[in-house]
Amino acid sequence: MSILSYLKITRPFNGVMSMIAVYIAALVAGVVSLSNLVPSLQLVFAMLATFFISSFGMVFNDIFDIEIDKINKPKRPLPSGKISLKVANIYGVLLAIVGLAFAYFVNFYAFGVAIVATVLLYAYAAKLKKVMLVGNIVVSFLVGLTFIYGGVINFNFLGVIMLAFLAFLANMAREIYKTCEDVVGDKKEGVRSLAIKYGVVRAKMAGSVFIILAVILSIVPFIIRLFGLPYLIVVTVADLVFLMAVFSDINTSAKMVKLGMNLALLAFLLGALIVI
Query: What pLDDT does residue 102 have?
Result: 97
pLDDT per residue rounded down to tens, the chain (276 residues):
578 889 999 999 999 999 999 999 999 888 887 777 888 899 999 999 999 999 999 999 999 988 878 877 888 889 888 889 999 999 999 999 999 999 999 999 999 999 999 999 999 999 898 888 898 999 999 999 999 998 888 888 888 999 999 999 999 999 999 888 777 677 776 777 888 888 888 989 999 999 999 999 999 999 999 999 999 999 999 999 999 999 988 888 989 999 999 999 999 999 988 866
Domains and CATH numbers, the chain: 1-157 (1.10.357.140), 158-276 (1.20.120)
The confidence score (pLDDT) of residue 157 equals 83
Alpha-helical segments (H) within 105-182:
108-126, 134-152, 160-181
Please give the C-alpha separations between residue 273 and each of 103, 146, 174, 195, in angstroms, as whole numbers. Answer: 26, 19, 27, 40
CA torsion 267-270-274-276 (nearest 10°) is -10
Radius of gyration of the chain (CA): 19
The model carries a pTM of: 0.88
- Give the contacts of 116 (CB within 8 A, at least 6 positions apart): none
Cα 76 from Cα 125, distance rounded (Å): 16
Task: Return the number of other C-beta atoms located less than 10 Å from residue 129's C-beta.
Answer: 24
Under 8 Å between Cβ of 113 and 149: yes
Expressed in angstroms, the distance from the first to the final Cα of the chain is: 51
pLDDT for res 251: 80
Alpha carbon dihedral 161, 164, 169, 175, in 10-degree steps, equals -150
Nearest to 164 by CA among 61, 255, 28: 28
**Predicted pLDDT at 194:** 81
pLDDT of residue 276: 65
Q: Contact 165/217 with Cβ under 8 angstroms?
A: yes
Give the SS3 label for residue 36: strand
Quick one: pLDDT at residue 154? Answer: 85
Residue 224 pLDDT? 92
Query: What pLDDT shows up at residue 211?
Result: 96
